[in-house]
Structures are given as structure tokens and as C-alpha cells.
Amino acid sequence: MRRRVWATATVLALLTGLVPVTAAWAAPARTGPLPPARLSGGPLPLERLFDNRAVSDDARPADADFDGAGGSVSARDLAAAGWTPGRALGVDGARLTWPDTAAGEADNVRADGQEVRVRGRGDALAFLVAGTGGDATGTGTVRYRDGSRGSYRLTAPDWRAGPLATKSVALPHVNTPGGQLTERARLYVVTVPLARGREVASVTLPRDPGAGADLHVFALSVRGGTPGWTGSWSASTAGYTAVGPWQDRTVRLVVHTGAGGPRVRVRLDNTFAGAPVRIGGATVAVRDAGARARGRPVALRFRGAAEAEIPAGTQVFSDPLRFRVPAGTDLLVSFHLPDRVAAAPVHSQATATSYVSGPGDHAADGSPAAYTSTLTTWPLLTGVDVGGGPGSVVLLGDSLTDGVGSTPDADRRWPDELARRLLARGPGTGVPRYGVLNQGISANRVVADRYPGDGVATDTGGVSALHRLDRDVFAQTSARTVVVFEGVNDLRWGASADEVVAGLRAIAGRARERGLRVVGATVAPCAGEARCTAAVDAERVRVNSWLRRSGVFDAVFDFDAVLRDPARPERLLAAFDSGDHLHPGDAGHAALARSVKLAELVP
């Protein structure tokens, strides 16, 4: 019941504009004492300030008291998730270290104005946090090396009742002096923006959040930017589904590049997972045809090693590899899974065929002979970056951006067509040859989660655009501009125009706060599809009217006007209809890409 109350309060706050754009979320807090935690003097490393014990051995739960009521996190559960003491964790582009402490020792600080020694330049501060006694919100200060200061607002969702959709890891138990409870314990990574180009000298944590809530900080770092890299391909994690099962199999994924460059790195994400996944080896190659490589695949390494383990809820980047990636071509990214994998984070609508081998590590095979089965999802792989370039445009959307309705294995989604337009631009046009990152998820919504954010599920509609904004937009490689093309699924499933507008307004505000140019796109018509009733179309018209006149976005692409039938504006033009009256076909995707004013993508 408490979770439903929290969710309702969050939605209402969102719709009325009460959620601060610098915070993750805010909610009413419970009452309780706040022990003092300040130390005098200059800034100190975070671990020198630890004053609370969150983690306990299952056999000695009384050794820790995270929440003031005897509750604590299971050390065994953390280890099973791969969150071991001193482990470096990559989350949303940030690198954070889990405290190097034993169960029952101090492992976090209750924020109360302490000054923490932090160094670095980047686009955001990343905090590994959780609230106790309710969601904990407070305002802190960043001091830069040039003497300037800035403030930030941070919310740590409650460790037992916060949203699973935005958690970094959920653990299956809560330890108490009276016994272990089968209840999800949550930990969160929350980012807040920094002044770009300035070097951070120290961070003052928020003071007493009040109302009995405690804001606990386990780790803190500067999320470095991604200079020298451009995103060439990406896919959003849409859910966590049953796969295979695969054991001692090699997955060979086919992806189509946008921008090219002389170096490459790939990103693998274990989003939504409850257990680590081990990569036994990985390669990259230019595709010849099918699963055949053009030449011998080249090995990727991870912090110098051939193998990598990805803890639950985290990501890894491969080391930079001198490998020329041609623009607008197919790559093969292959990785060996030596251990049993029965479920994995996936992008469900690849609109492309990839491959799985028979037994053995076949990542280095140029021949397709070992790849005896196919799949139409992209598991684990979420990004391919190339060296150099001007940065990336991120397209945040649903199935219309994901490419549903376009021809499979033909790369005719409107993001692909837009990438080709950008690549065709010559020097001196004023529009850089940006990488185009497709962050569309079929069935996705602006303000409601389809996938709940935790556990194995068949629904791959993803968490809401609001809940995935940090991971799928702000943390994307060298993002410069975001185009938001969502809303039809909210309306089709009963949301009002006001709810969609509130969500789009929040996205625009948060994106602008991060220094991105933000472009909105009007919602396309869909009459003739079962859920696109006359009442839904009336709400769609209201959303589009607001988009065209509000001025909330830096620019608006009128995709409704591009795709609609002039004689029946509630319907797709027949020539653009894939046949289901909701998704455009190849001609419609091409028309969307042609309609984009490229200059509007430039910040």
C-alpha cells in the first residue's frame, strides 16, 4: 500500500511541477531522530566521514542499523549481486566504488553538511545513495577550483519503498534483529549537473533533510564527460527477459553505425539485473554478410583484461581500440558467455537479425559456421562509440522511433535515415555530422512504466521516459541535443493530455538544465488502430496544440503534419501507413527524416 501512495504522490507532484529538476524524486518523509554527523576542518575523503552501518552479516544482523530501527542490507545479497567491498561500479556513465568495508563496519555517511574532498571535471556529480525514514531531500554546495560555487538539490529515494524503476540494484532481503525479511532493499545512483569545464574541489553534502528522513551517501564521484568520443549506435534496455538459456555460447549482434571513426569502444549494460554476468571474451568486426566477418574479428579488452564481469545494475565500457569504423555500415559485436545465462537485459525490437553460436567461444571466428541460431533482440549491448567527431543527437521515443513498421534488416528507421542525411552534409554547411543515437523503445510511455523496473518479465515496454532520462539521454556519449517523440502510448492507454504535457514539460526542463538542446515532436495520428478512439485523438490534438505554441522546447518538429492524411487528419496518410494504422512504413520513416530541419539540431 505504501508503494502505491508514494507513486501517487510522485505523479501528482510531477503534474503540478513540484518535483525539482535537479532531484531524482521527492516524497513525504517519516519522522525520527537524526544523529549529528559533522566534522570540523577542511574537506575529507568520504570514507573518513562514515558514521552509519548499513550492511550486516546474515548471522549477525544486529551489527548494523541502517535505518534507526535495526534494519540493514544483507552482505550475502550484495555479494551475490557482484557488489563486493572495494568494487568499482559503472552506472549511468559514472564510476563509483562500493565502500571497502566489512559487514558491520561503518560504510556510509548520513548527510548533514559535511564537506567532502572530490576532484575532477565533468558534466555531473554522481551519488550512490539511499534514504531511510522516507525519501530524503536536501540542498548542497559544489566548490570549484576557481573559487566559484554552485548549489545542487539531491533526493535519495527510500531504501525500502523508493521506485524500482530508477534503482541501480534491488536486493532480495532486508535484515532485522528479529530475522530476515523477504523484501526488496534498494540502492540508487542519482546525478546532479555541474558547471561544465570547471574543476570540482569539494562537495558539501545536504544538511538535515528534516521530517525524520536520513540521506545516506555510500559513494560520490564526478561523472567525467566523454570528450574525444561520438556515439555511433545505441539501444535502450527495454526489459529483463528470459533468454536461451545460454551457457558456453557466443552471441554475435549486428548493429548499423551512423558516424565513423578511427577508434571504437562498446558498452555492455546489465541493467535491471539481480546477478552479475560474465563476459568471457569479446570482438568487433565489420560485417560481410549474415554472421560472416569481413576479415578476422579484433579482440576487445576491459581495463586490460580479456574478460569482464558486470555486476547487477551496472555497465562496462571496453578499452579504446584502434579500429577504423566505417560510417553507415554493419558491425558484428560478438561476446562469449561462459556461464549459464537464463535471463538478460534486452532491447526487444531490434528489427534486425543477430546470431547465437553452438558451444564454445567463437567471438574470434570470421566464419559464420558456428552461428547456428538467430535472435531478433539485442541483449546486453547498449552502445558503440567512435573516436573523434562532433558529438551525438539522442532520439528519445517509442515504437515509431524504434523502427516498428519498417523493413527488418534494412535499416530504414527514421533515425537511420536521419543519420544518412547528416553523413551526407559537406563541410561548411553549419551542421556537424553528428552521431544519431536511437533510444526508442516499443510500447514506451512518457509518464508510466510498462516494465516495472525489476525482475524477469515478458513486458519489454521499458520504464517511462521520465524514469530512463538520465540513463538513456544524459549519460549517452557526447550528447548535444535530444529529440523527444513520445506520448501516443500514454494516450492510447488512458492518460490525459494534461498528464502527457506535464511529463513532456518535465523532460524539457531537466534536459535544458543539463545543457542540452531539447526538441519536441508532435504526436502522430493513429485512427483506425483499436485503441486510437475519437476521444484519444481529441487528447492527442490537445497535446500537439500545446507543443506548437508553448515555447517549452527549443524547437518543435511537426511530425503530425508530416504523416497525417490531409483529408482525414486523425489518420496516417495511406502511403505512409505500415498497415496497422499506428506505425509508419518505410516511406513514412523516410518522410519523417526528410522533414527534420538539420539546423535545429545544433545547440
pLDDT (tens digit, 9 = 90+) per residue, 457-477? 999 999 999 999 999 999 999
DSSP run (H or E) holding 590: helix 586-595
Name the band, by pLDDT with cuts 50, 70 and 90, for residue 1. very low
Predicted confidence at residue 6, as pLDDT, reads: 36
Cα-based distances in Å from 561 to 83, 239, 521, 558, 572: 50, 32, 10, 5, 10
What would the grid cell of residue 356 be?
Answer: 547465437
Helix, coil or strand: residue 5: helix
Name the band, by pLDDT with cuts 50, 70 and 90, for residue 3. very low
* Rounded Cα distance, 379 and 370, in Å: 19
* Rounded Cα distance, 336 and 356, in Å: 10
pLDDT (tens digit, 9 = 90+) per residue, 394-441? 999 999 999 999 999 999 999 999 999 999 987 788 899 999 999 999
Name the DSSP letter for residue 328.
T
pTM here is: 0.93
Share of the chain above pLDDT 90, in %: 91
Cα-based distances in Å from 420 to 359, 411, 436, 594, 595: 38, 10, 9, 10, 14
Return the bridge partners of 556, or none. Answer: 520
Pick from 325, 246, 235, 221: nearest CA to 271: 235
Judged against a pLDDT cut of 80, whether residue 325 lies above it is answered with yes
Q: What is the mean pLDDT of residues 48-73?
A: 98
CA atoms within 13 A on the CB side of 441: 25
Helix, coil or strand: residue 538: helix
Residue pair 53/126 in contact by the 8 Å Cβ criterion: no
Judged against a pLDDT cut of 80, whether residue 22 lies above it is answered with no
Residue pair 535/570 in contact by the 8 Å Cβ criterion: no
**DSSP E strand boundaries for 194-339:** 200-204, 214-223, 229-234, 239-246, 249-256, 261-269, 277-279, 281-289, 292-293, 298-300, 308-310, 315-317, 321-325, 330-337
Predicted confidence at residue 40, as pLDDT, reads: 52
What would the grid cell of residue 336 be?
Answer: 562469449
Predicted confidence at residue 25, as pLDDT, reads: 31
Judged against a pLDDT cut of 80, whether residue 19 lies above it is answered with no
The mean pLDDT of the chain is 93
pLDDT (tens digit, 9 = 90+) per residue, 114-147? 999 999 999 999 999 999 999 999 999 999 999 9
Pick from 231, 188, 171: nearest CA to 434: 231
Judged against a pLDDT cut of 80, whether residue 340 lies above it is answered with yes
pLDDT (tens digit, 9 = 90+) per residue, 99-113? 999 999 999 999 999
* Rounded Cα distance, 362 and 369, in Å: 10
Residue pair 211/188 in contact by the 8 Å Cβ criterion: no
Predicted confidence at residue 26, as pLDDT, reads: 29
pLDDT (tens digit, 9 = 90+) per residue, 564-590? 999 999 999 999 999 999 999 999 999
Residue pair 30/211 in contact by the 8 Å Cβ criterion: yes
Return the bridge partners of 379, or none. Answer: 346
Judged against a pLDDT cut of 80, whether residue 15 lies above it is answered with no
**DSSP E strand boundaries for 301-340:** 308-310, 315-317, 321-325, 330-337
Task: Outline which parts of the chain fall under CATH 3.40.50.1110.
Answer: 390-603
DSSP per-residue string spanning 41-56 = SS-B-GGGG--B--EE
Residue pair 451/167 in contact by the 8 Å Cβ criterion: no
| Stretch among 10-14, 159-163, 358-362 having the lowest mean pLDDT | 10-14
* Rounded Cα distance, 128 and 105, in Å: 18
DSSP run (H or E) holding 539: helix 534-549
| Residue located via cell numbers 553528428 | 434
Q: What is the mean pLDDT of residues 155-161?
A: 98
pLDDT (tens digit, 9 = 90+) per residue, 497-539? 999 999 999 999 999 999 999 999 999 999 999 999 999 999 9
| Residue located via cell numbers 508510466 | 448
Residue pair 53/216 in contact by the 8 Å Cβ criterion: no
Give the number of other CB atoms < 10 A from CB of residue 113.
15
Judged against a pLDDT cut of 90, whether residue 14 lies above it is answered with no
Amino acid at 562: V
| CATH code for the part of the protein at 390-603 | 3.40.50.1110
Judged against a pLDDT cut of 90, whether residue 85 lies above it is answered with yes
* Rounded Cα distance, 111 and 49, in Å: 10
DSSP run (H or E) holding 115: strand 115-120
Name the DSSP letter for residue 591.
H
Residue pair 220/128 in contact by the 8 Å Cβ criterion: yes
Return the bridge partners of 481, or none. Answer: 393, 517
Return the bridge partners of 231, or none. Answer: 385
Residue pair 183/174 in contact by the 8 Å Cβ criterion: yes
**DSSP E strand boundaries for 15-81:** 55-56, 73-74
| Residue located via cell numbers 559535511 | 114
Residues in the chain: 603
